[in-house]
Structure formats: C-alpha cells, structure tokens
Amino acid sequence: MKNVIVIFLLLVSISTAQSVSELKIETLNNKKINVKEHYQKGVLLINFWASWCQPCKSELPHLNRIYEKYKNKGFSIIGINQDSPKSVAKVRSFVASQNIKFPIAIDPNFEIFNKFNGQVLPYNLLIDSNGEIVYRHTGYVPGDEKKLEEEIVELLNK
Amino acid sequence: MKRLKILIIILLPISFVNGQVSYSISNYLRYGNGDRSFGNFKGNFKYFENLTDMKIFLPYNITIGGRLLYDNPPEVGLTYKGLKRRFIEYSGDELYIRAGNFSELYGRGLALNLFESRGLGFDSWMDGINLNYRKENFSFSAIAGVLEYKDSIEIKRNEDYKIYGGNFEIDPIDNFKIGLTYIYSEADFDLIPVDRKIKVNLPSLNLSINEDNFSFLFDYAYKSMSNFNDNNKSYGYGIYSSISYNTEGFGVTLDYKNYRFDLRDPFERNDITRTTRFLPFQNAPIVLKEHSYTLLTRAIHEVDFNDELGLQVEIFYTPSETTTINFNSSIASRHGNYLFDQNSFSFSRLEFINVLPSLSKKYSPYYELFGEVEQSLNEKTIVKVAAALRSKILSDEFFSGTNNHEISSIIFPFQLKHVFSDPYSAEFDYQYESVKDNFNAEQTEYSNHLFGLINVIDTKINVTFRYEFSTNRFDVSGKRYWSAIELGYRLNQNLSAAVSYGKEKGGQICSNGVCRYILPFEGLRISILGII
C-alpha cells in the first residue's frame, strides 16, 4: 500500500492537469466525435447528466442557451448522458423534447465518467483550446450558469 | 506490483522530459454518527468512508489508475480497507486494452453488465483483461478474468466467478447494427454445508436501428447452467426491446421485458442460495421509471429478473418554451401462478402467460401511472406539479390467493422555485402520499407528508430543511416525525462540503445541487468532495 502511495505522489509531483486530447465519443445520432476537433476551435464544455437527476435537468436549458449564444465564437458543448441500461432507452425522447441543440452521447457503463473521476451529477468540465481541463464543477444550483458563462467568456477572450 | 514499478521507471524519465504526464484525483469522504432504528430495535451506528480515485495519464495513451478505499464501515455494504481497484490501460484510435479492474456492458446487459453502485452496496467489476478493437463499421471486445461477488445484504452469497467472453458488433448498412455476445463462466458458490460449482453458457444477440426520428432495439440472451456436483441443468432466457419516435419537442418510448431466466415455484424462488438464478454479472433494464421525487423513490417495485414480464411507455412533450409535460406508465407481472398441495407440501404450476404482463392478482401484478407538468410562470419562477398512482399485489400462493399482500398509493409532488434577486433563490417542495396496505398491522390506510425548503444564499452556500410526518402508527422505523437541516458549502470549484443533522426517513434527496439516495438515519452526517 505504501509503495502505491509513494509512486502515485511521485507521478503527481511531476504532472500537469488532466488533458482530454485523445477522447472519442459516439453521439445518439451515431456520429463519431473527436473532442480534439471541438476544443481546438476555442472552448469545450463536457456536461455529464442523467434523466433521473433533477439538478441536471434544471441546468440543461441554461446550457442550451449558452451554447446558442456562443457557438459561433468557438464554443462547443458535448453532453454525456449517464443513464444506466435501466433507463437509457428514453434518453433520445427526452433530448428531442427539450430541443437540445448540442450533441449528446450516452455512457451507460460510466466509462467516460470514470475516466474523469466523476463522483456526482451534474459534472462539468471546461476545456481550453490546448485540451486542458481548466474548470471542474459538480452539482447545479441557480446562479451556477452565470459563473459558468463568465468562465467561458474569459476563455474565449484569451 | 514489480512490473508496474518497472513500467513507471521506464516511462517516467521520458515523460518528465516531454512534460507529458497528467493526472486526475478525486476524494470523497463521508462520515456519519448517530442511530439507526428498525421497529423497537435502535442502535448507535457510525460510518466512515473515504474513497480516493486516482489516474495518471502517461505518454503513448497509457493510463494507470487505482482506488484507495477506506470503508470502515461504509453506510451501505461491507467493510474494506486498502487498494480496491488498480489498472493499466492503453487507449488508442482503434485498440483499447486494460489489465486490472474493469467494468463492461454488452448490449443492454442481459448477458453482461458489470457495474458498481455504492448506494446499493453492489459491485460486479471484474479483475482481468479487457480488450476492445474498433473500426469504422465493426467492433470486437473480449474479456477474461474473475469476479469475486459478495452480497452486502444476503451474506450467505459469497460467489467466485471465472468469466470469459466476447462481443462482436457490425453495422452492415447505415443506421443498422447487429451484435453477438458469448459469455462462459465457471462459478464456485461458497455455501454451507457444501460448496456448489456451476458452469454457465450465455449467448446473446442484439439488433438496433437508429434513424433520425426513429429508433429500435432488440436484445435476447439465452442462459444454460449445469451443476458440476450433480449434473443438474437449468435453462432460461430474457428479451428486452425498445422502440421510440422523437421529433422536435416530442418524444415517445415504449419498452418491453420478458425475463424468464429461472422460473421457480415460491419455495425455490425464496431460496437465495440457489445457483440457477440470474447472475450478478447480468443486469438488465428494469423497464420502470427512475424517479427523482423522494416519496416516489421509496417502496419501489423489486424487479425479479428470473421471472417477470413488463411494458413501459414514456412521453416527453414540450408544447411551448415555458411548458414541459412528462407522462409514464408501466406494468409488470410474473409469468405464472402456482397451487400449493398441503398434503405433498409442494407446488404445481396452474396457468402461464408468455408474452404480455397481466393485471390479474394471481400473477403478482404491479402498475404505475405518472404525470408531471413543469411550467415557467416568468423568468424567475417555475412550478412543477405531478401525480402518481401505484399498485402492487404480492400473490399468496400458499393459500390460493386468499391472503394477498396489496399495497396501493397515490402521490402528489409539488415544487416551486423562485429566484428572488441574484444570486439568492429558494425552492419549496411538498409531497403527499396516501397509502393503502392491507398488511400494515391494524392500520391499513395512512398518509405521508414531506416538506422541503432549499435556500441558495449564493452559489457557494445553501441551506436545506426537510420535515416529514406520517400518520402510520406502525412505521418500520418506529417514528412518526422526521426533520433535518443540511448546510452545503463550496469552498472553490474543486472542493465542496455538506453537513446535515437530524432524522432522515431515507429515499432520494436533492440538496447542495446534487441528488443521492440515503438510508434512514438519525444524527450527524458530513461529506466532503474534492476533485482535481
């Protein structure tokens, strides 16, 4: 156990923040997305959400609005749904009804969520044009969307 | 461990020079000190959980990671102290290989769905090798390894599985995919007085069509099991299918289940040590709605994956920018009913249904109707009103249905959210439930009332009050009133904490911007989450 901790600390001490350069995702519409193509345009937000998560559902309309506002300025969003096989069949219907404009992928065995050490939903990762995660945010309460928008604008203006 | 060290020693200097090493760590600490009570039994209960997930991203698309776990004891599940997970993986454009602990899902999980739910104390991650190869129009996956399954509730279930399997999926034409899965497993059931050894073959087929507005999925798995000890054999299968039509502002999904992996009479059905049942590495869709209202997350229907038929329809409709409507209806039942012969003390099957669930009491039916309307009154105020009707009947097959357990309830949740002045907002919840339960001692009708108030003072601080009372004099907790206060605080984007104190009846609760399922508890709880 001690060996594991020592090796881990050693690695962390020479490390930089997590980057997402090689991540490839398949969307609900069977389109394959390379996240690199999205963050290289400017700024990318990866939003993990689930249909049973009330705060996630409250946040989605705000993300949709932010996406529409900045999508022509180099901003992208990829939504990654975390419904398990228990309820993943309904995700398409939910997404269609909400008129969500940004691409949505499903991650029913939490493979991508685990990759980013996600623990609770909603979980947001803001990625700069170098592919580095510059902002992580868990949970949603009213007002969070304003803070997030400020971060996006700041990154877009860099 | 030695091999891991060697690999790191080789990779470290290269990475250091190039500055290509990155990392991610999350730490989730949960502590509770208080009481848990069941009827007249009340006992002190302390839990302490600390979960650290860490990943190091090395050059050449190699990741190493692990989980340090200190569950001593956890709120749910078994005590564990040490390195719970460790892995090394390569993730390239087309090839993915992972050695160590992994989860995996084939199709919709009828043959294989390895996952973890800490809230349920369930963990079916394997230890071994997982390989995936993907090209433009096909993919192949193979797994080999072991699963040591320990049930946190049924402590007799201590089972070791060796699992080998693979999945091949191909898109022969646009928007159409066909997949084949094969799983072979040998298992050792550590039972008293004798161990039982079994082997299982689980082939599975899945098809899917995804057009712009239309999607269809079909999943079939066949299970054959034989016992090494006495060469007894058992066969069963499961079908899951879903179809949906979606257009802008509207979506409808119909799904269907026919799970008959192990049809048994009531005697055998209640034997939790039987080796023939649905196995822990299989986890199929439940075909029921997953709710977010607290009262609707309690007393849910327990799906029997060995013997259940069911249908569900879900509609989402957004008629205008300010209104959202959701409707869900589900029905489930067993396949057959049985007659008990008091002379031979055995059951014989009377009738059998093959395709659609039945509402007849003899098939232990369950149904639910749910509707919800969300209306934005203006830019600052949102109202949500819902109604649910539920009925569950557990057929008493020992006395030919004369002593059925019948439970029905009507639930009305109401929610009002208002932003007063940026950044102060508040959310008020009221949920009412009227219950009829013919097994509830001398009081067959009662009601539950839940009040919640979430005050978001700014995006960093929020306070939640919950108060609940029940007119049920025979609640299993022995209580009639519950109240709790919770304070959530976000120190920065990487660190948040919550402290709560009071009596909780349990269920899914949402506070501090996240939702989680909690168990009945009375006392102090602390949770701290950090992610970097």
CB B487 within 8 Å of CB B463 = yes
Q: Quote the minimal CA–CA distance from A72 to chain B in Å.
A: 22
Nearest to A142 among B51, B114, B456 (CB): B456
CB atoms B253 and A90 under 8 Å: yes
Give me A53's structure tokens.
């998560």
B349: amino acid identity, one letter: R
Pairwise CA distance, residues B381 & B288, whole Å? 30
Cβ within 8 Å of B, A 32-61: 51-55, 58
Top-confidence residue, B76 or B414:
B414
CB atoms B217 and A89 under 8 Å: yes
Range B414-434 average pLDDT:
91
Q: Is the pLDDT assigned to residue B273 strictly greater than 80?
A: no
What pLDDT score does B204 carry? 97
Q: Quote the minimal CA–CA distance from A53 to chain B in Å.
A: 6
Residues of A in contact with B493 (CB under 8 A): 135-137
Q: Which H helix or E strand runs over B6?
A: helix B2-18
Q: Quote the minimal CA–CA distance from A121 to chain B in Å.
A: 6
Top-confidence residue, B328 or B10:
B328
Residues of B in contact with A55 (CB under 8 A): 510, 513-515
Residues of A in contact with B82 (CB under 8 A): 1
DSSP state of B465: E
What pLDDT score does A27 carry? 84
Nearest to B5 among A7, A142, A146 (CB): A7
What pLDDT score does A13 carry? 52
Residue with tokens 């040591």: B148
pLDDT band at B398 (very low <50, low <70, confident <90, very high): confident
What pLDDT score does B493 carry? 79
Give me A63's structure tokens.
């993300």
Choose the weakest-confidence range: A132-141, B170-179, B227-236. B227-236
ipTM: 0.85
> How high is the mean pLDDT of chain B?
89
Q: Quote the minimal CA–CA distance from B54 to chain A in Å.
A: 7
Write out pLDDT tens, residues B482-530: 999 999 998 887 889 999 999 988 777 776 667 777 778 889 999 999 9
Q: Is the pLDDT assigned to residue A21 strictly greater than 80?
A: no
Q: Is the pLDDT assigned to residue A1 strictly greater than 70?
A: no
Main-chain dihedrals φ then ψ at residue A55, nearest 5 degrees: -60, -35
Rounded percentage of chain A residues whose pLDDT exceeds 70: 87
Nearest to A86 among B12, B285, B292 (CB): B285
Q: Is the pLDDT assigned to residue B450 strictly greater than 90?
A: yes
Q: Which H helix or E strand runs over A114?
A: helix A111-115
Neighbours of B91 (CB within 10 A): 17
Write out pLDDT tens, residues B150-207: 887 777 788 899 999 999 999 999 889 999 999 999 999 887 667 889 999 999 999 9
Alpha-carbon B428 to chain mean position: 27
pLDDT band at B274 (very low <50, low <70, confident <90, very high): confident
What pLDDT score does B39 carry? 59
Closest CA to B160 of B122, B198, B130: B198
Closest CA to B521 of B495, B498, B500, B496: B500
pLDDT band at A10 (very low <50, low <70, confident <90, very high): low
What pLDDT score does B236 carry? 94
Q: Quote the minimal CA–CA distance from B43 to chain A in Å.
A: 30
Q: What is the dihedral of CA B130, B123, B242, B253, to 10 degrees?
A: -130
Residues of B in contact with A14 (CB under 8 A): 12, 15-16, 21
The segment with the largest mean pLDDT, out of A33-42, B59-68, B266-275, is B59-68
Residue of B nearest to A90 (CA): B253
Helices (H), A71-108: 91-97
Choose the weakest-confidence range: A118-132, B47-61, B342-356. B342-356
Cα maximum dimension of chain A? 52
Total length of chain A: 158
A110 touches chain B (CB under 8 A): yes
Parallel, antiparallel, or unpaired for β B122-123 and B116-117? antiparallel
CB atoms A8 and B315 under 8 Å: no
pLDDT band at B4 (very low <50, low <70, confident <90, very high): low
Nearest to B24 among A4, A89, A117 (CB): A117
Pairwise CA distance, residues B331 & B353, whole Å? 14
Residues of A in contact with B103 (CB under 8 A): 109-111, 114
Nearest to B285 among A55, A89, A109 (CB): A89
What pLDDT score does B20 carry? 73
Closest CA to B227 of B190, B286, B258, B187: B187
Closest CA to B368 of B403, B333, B337, B395: B333
DSSP string for residues in B223-268? EEEEETTT--EEEEEEEEEEEEEEETTEEEEEEEEEEESS---HHH
Asked whether the CA dihedral A139, A143, A145, A146 is positive or negative, the reply is: negative
Write out pLDDT tens, residues B87-99: 999 988 889 999 9
Q: Is the pLDDT assigned to residue B3 strictly greater than 70?
A: no
Top-confidence residue, B42 or A102:
A102
Q: Quote the minimal CA–CA distance from B321 to chain A in Å.
A: 9
CB B421 within 8 Å of CB B452 = no
CB B421 within 8 Å of CB B438 = no
Q: Quote the minimal CA–CA distance from B222 to chain A in Å.
A: 18
What pLDDT score does A18 carry? 64
CB atoms B246 and A97 under 8 Å: yes
Write out pLDDT tens, residues B58-111: 888 899 999 999 999 998 888 999 999 999 999 888 899 999 999 999 999 999
